[in-house]
């Protein structure tokens, strides 16, 4: 079966808005987006032509605000068509979009809005407004707040407008002739805030060229067709979803369906039947854990059948990849597929060609199970600072233990301590209003220092460690543990602290308490004088203290569980260095059981 392919090349797309215009011109009647209408409780489609008409309305409303090219507008929405409408309308006027996480803390949102001198903020409705209202006087230069839902009964603010009142009833533009824009490819397109080493997020400045070149190079590694259907559920404030789940479908003419929510994801997969998804490892880990939990309740025969299906599928995969030989066991594969694999894949919709996984390391055992069952999981690697893709595996050349080969046009080399260095068009312009941080990460020759230690073998990149201690959570968010630990140690109750959470759903902390201070506190509160391990009341008290001490950090950098170490960490045990720095791996290894208990039930 042949699939129609219609890529818009870089010459035809001088900017992200020009890319959108070209797509509308080429396939006006094709379905651009699929969404769930809450009023009718049905899934609906929007064509590229319909999207163009909406973008024109948003553009005219934005133009009436009289912003100047280069001014910033922020989008704080779940994934939806209106996200695209605001983004394209803003880009067409030379404005710069600043995406915000919908569940971020109000103080963090206020910091970003002030730091980027944002002029307009787009939110969903009452929930967002109630969360932001306590800081509404501290939103910097924001002169207009647009809400998708009516705000009847909500606290008033003269800047607040309901989108239906703000948008013109119709656009002056007709048909598919969108207004032209004189935006240059090297103009700033977006500022994406990512957690920095100070605890305050840094604004990554990406130009139109940065993102377009990354999307185009991505399409040279992975085929996307016009009849592909993406299911979008990673936040569009995440650079991976933005480039791969939004701009690549525009470039290739594929359709994007917006999942209703993470809670509805299982149902949406079956209803939408996507051919491509973009995910962080946590989603696959949950399915993996669920399958293995269910297996424990099955008969020995059912377990054996499942494991045989996975191992046979994995061997077949290696054979197709020319990394393994043929086996007579492959003759049984159609039967195993019917009895096992199809049942699992049908829960993912039954049509998925491949799943792109990035943002954090995917455990090999998880990748092996899915690939063995017939789902190609394509792992990639990147940074927000590189728009974000640096490397990706190919369907026909896939080693899930690696993060693939560098994209076409992206140079890589090994620096000091085997640090991966990257250069090319996708590398950011720098950090917003932060020359010092920019110079720390991009050297004079234009090489971006990733902070990741790697080995490169047969052109493939294998991540081996991290130069700077950065925790990457299961959802791809990056957290600097040293800074969090320093903030916690500001309270003399804590003598030593280690924050952990690599590839986990949330952060936990191991703490060593100051004996004298704790004894006084414990007597006062009626708590054990020598706590160690886990104690509900002790943990509750410590969590309150740590929550206050780390309140300056982004919302996702919240410590959810705490355990008390039974004794201090010493140089003699090899748990700290002579300069009193934590030997993180040694501590985590020694306290593996205690840390695992902190994640039980998740």
Sheet containing strand 160-162, strands side by side? 160-162, 144-147, 118-123, 72-76, 96-99, 188-195, 201-207, 430-431
Nearest partner of 537 among 564, 514, 503, judged by Cα = 564
Taking the model in full, what pTM does it have? 0.84
* pLDDT tens-digit map of 546-598: 999 998 888 888 999 999 999 999 876 878 865 567 888 889 999 999 999 99
CATH code: domain of residue 81: 3.40.50.12780
Segments forming the whole domain that contains residue 69: 16-275
pLDDT bracket for residue 2 (50, 70, 90): low
pLDDT confidence of residue 175: 56
Domain boundary among 254, 275, 296: 275
Q: What percent of the chain has pLDDT over 70?
A: 97
How many CB atoms within 10 Å of residue 190?
Answer: 26
Q: Is residue 176 part of a domain?
A: yes
Give the range among 156-170, 295-309, 335-349, 458-472 with minimum mean pLDDT: 458-472
Cα 60 to Cα 554: distance, rounded to the nearest angstrom: 34
421 and 513 co-located in one domain: no
Q: Does 5 reside within a domain?
A: no
| 252 within a domain of the structure (yes/no) | yes
Asked if residue 571 and residue 492 are part of one domain, the reply reads yes
Task: Name the residue with higher pLDDT: 335 or 127.
Answer: 335
DSSP assigned state of 243: I
Residue 324 lies in a domain: yes
On whether residue 11 sits in a domain, the answer given is: no
Exposure class string for 248-257: b at 16+ Cβ within 10 A, else e:
bbbbbbbbbb
User: pLDDT digits over 297-318, tens only?
Assistant: 899 999 999 999 999 999 999 9
Shared-domain flag, residues 153 and 211: yes
Same domain, 406 and 522: no
Phi, psi of 457, deg, nearest 5 = -135, 125
Examine the pLDDT at 452 and tell me if it is beyond 70.
yes
Has residue 124 got a pLDDT over 90? yes
pLDDT recorded at residue 74: 98
Provide mean pLDDT across the span 343-355: 96
Q: Based on the domain organization, do 143 and 31 belong to the same domain?
A: yes
The average pLDDT across 92-104 equals 93
125 and 78 in one domain?
Answer: yes
In a domain, 376, yes or no: yes
Can you tell me the distance from the alpha carbon of 313 to that of 204, in angstroms, rounded to the nearest whole number? 41
Average pLDDT in the 182-211 region?
A: 87
Same domain flag for 129 and 255 = yes
Lowest mean pLDDT across 145-159, 240-254, 507-521: 145-159
pLDDT value at residue 289 = 77
Q: Both 225 and 340 in a single domain? A: no
Q: What separation, in Å, do the N-terminal and C-terminal C-alpha atoms of the chain show?
A: 42
Query: What pLDDT sits at residue 196?
Result: 46
Q: pLDDT tens-digit profile of 370-398?
A: 999 999 999 999 999 999 999 999 999 99
With 60 as the cut, is the pLDDT of residue 602 above it? no
Instruction: Give the span between the Cα atoms of 86 and 58, in whole angstroms.
Output: 6
Does 426 fall in a domain?
yes
Q: Do 311 and 328 belong together in one domain?
A: yes
Q: What is the pLDDT at residue 264?
A: 95
24 with 107, same domain: the answer is: yes
The domain total for the chain is 3
Lowest mean pLDDT among 364-368, 435-439, 467-471: 467-471
Determine what percent of the chain is predicted with pLDDT higher than 90.
Answer: 72
Work out the mean pLDDT of the chain and round it to a whole number: 92
Mean pLDDT of 40-60: 97
Is residue 197 predicted with pLDDT exceeding 50?
A: no
- Asked if residues 76 and 100 have their Cβ atoms less than 8 Å apart, the reply is yes
Single out the residue in 275, 294, 313 at which a domain terminates.
Answer: 275
Q: Are 594 and 544 in contact (CB under 8 A)?
A: no
Radius of gyration of the chain (CA): 25
Write the burial class of residue 301 (CB in 10 Å: 0-12 exposed, 13-18 middle, 19+ buried): exposed
User: What are 494's strand-pairing partners?
Assistant: 513
Q: Are 352 and 275 in contact (CB under 8 A)?
A: yes
The runs of H, that is alpha helices, within 246-394 are: 248-252, 265-272, 281-296, 300-320, 333-336, 342-346, 364-373
- Looking at the fold, whether 32 and 126 belong to one and the same domain comes out as yes
Q: Is residue 42 part of a domain?
A: yes
Q: Which of 466, 492, 512 is the last residue of a domain?
A: 466
Q: Which of 322, 463, 317 is nearest to 381 (CA)?
A: 463
Same domain membership, residue 498 and residue 460 = no
pLDDT band at 501 (very low <50, low <70, confident <90, very high): very high
């Amino acid at each position: 079966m042949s699939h129609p392919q219609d890529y818009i090349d870089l010459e035809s797309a001088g900017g992200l808005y020009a890319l959108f215009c070209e797509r509308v011109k080429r396939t006006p009647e094709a379905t651009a987006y699929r969404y769930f209408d809450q009023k009718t409780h049905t899934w609906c489609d929007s064509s590229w032509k319909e999207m163009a008409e909406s973008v024109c309305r948003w553009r005219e409303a934005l133009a009436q605000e009289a912003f100047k090219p280069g001014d910033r507008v922020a989008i704080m929405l779940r994934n939806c068509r209106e996200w695209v409408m605001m983004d394209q309308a803003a880009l067409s006027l030379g404005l710069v979009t600043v995406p915000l996480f919908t569940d971020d803390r109000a103080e963090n949102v206020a910091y970003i809005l002030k730091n980027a001198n944002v002029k307009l903020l787009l939110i969903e409705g009452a929930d967002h407004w109630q969360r932001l209202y306590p800081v509404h006087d501290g939103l910097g230069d924001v002169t207009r707040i647009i809400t998708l839902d009516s705000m009847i009964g909500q606290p008033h603010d003269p800047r607040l407008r309901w989108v239906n009142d703000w948008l013109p009833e119709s656009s002056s533009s007709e048909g598919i002739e969108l207004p032209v824009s004189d935006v240059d490819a090297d103009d700033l397109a977006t500022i994406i805030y990512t957690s920095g080493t100070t605890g305050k997020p840094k604004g990554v400045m990406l130009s139109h060229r940065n993102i377009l070149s990354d999307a185009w190079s991505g399409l040279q590694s992975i085929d996307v067709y016009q009849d592909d259907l993406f299911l979008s559920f990673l936040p569009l404030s995440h650079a991976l979803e933005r480039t791969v789940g939004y701009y690549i479908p525009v470039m290739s003419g594929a359709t994007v369906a917006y999942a209703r929510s993470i809670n509805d994801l299982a149902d949406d997969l079956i209803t939408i039947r996507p051919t491509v998804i973009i995910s962080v490892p946590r989603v696959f880990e949950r399915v993996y854990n669920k399958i293995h939990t269910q297996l424990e309740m099955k008969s020995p025969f059912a377990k054996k059948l499942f494991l045989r299906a996975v191992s046979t599928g994995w061997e077949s995969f290696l054979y197709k990849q020319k990394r393994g030989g043929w086996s007579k066991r492959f003759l049984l594969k159609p039967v195993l597929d019917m009895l096992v694999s199809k049942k699992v894949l049908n829960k993912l919709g039954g049509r998925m060609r491949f799943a792109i996984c990035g943002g954090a390391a995917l455990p090999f055992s998880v990748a092996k199970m899915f690939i063995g069952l017939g789902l190609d999981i394509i792992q990639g690697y990147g940074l927000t600072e590189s728009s974000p893709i640096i490397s990706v595996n190919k369907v026909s050349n896939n080693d899930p233990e690696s993060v693939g080969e560098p994209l076409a046009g992206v140079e890589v080399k090994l620096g000091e301590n085997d640090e991966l260095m990257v250069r090319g068009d996708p590398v950011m312009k720098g950090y917003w209003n932060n020359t010092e941080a920019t110079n720390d990460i991009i050297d004079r020759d234009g090489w971006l220092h990733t902070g990741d230690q790697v080995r490169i073998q047969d052109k493939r990149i294998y991540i081996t460690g991290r130069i700077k201690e950065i925790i990457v959570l299961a959802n791809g968010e990056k957290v600097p543990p040293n800074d969090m630990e320093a903030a916690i140690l500001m309270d003399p109750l804590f003598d030593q602290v280690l924050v952990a959470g690599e590839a986990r759903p949330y952060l936990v902390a191991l703490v060593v308490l100051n004996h004298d201070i704790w004894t006084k506190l414990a007597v006062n509160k009626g708590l054990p004088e020598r706590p160690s391990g886990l104690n509900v009341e002790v943990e509750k008290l410590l969590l309150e203290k740590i929550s206050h001490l780390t309140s300056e950090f982004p919302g996702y950098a919240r410590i959810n569980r705490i355990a008390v170490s039974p004794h201090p960490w010493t140089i003699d045990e090899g748990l700290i260095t002579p300069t009193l720095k934590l030997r993180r791996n040694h501590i985590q290894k020694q306290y593996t059981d205690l840390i695992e208990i902190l994640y039980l039930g998740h």
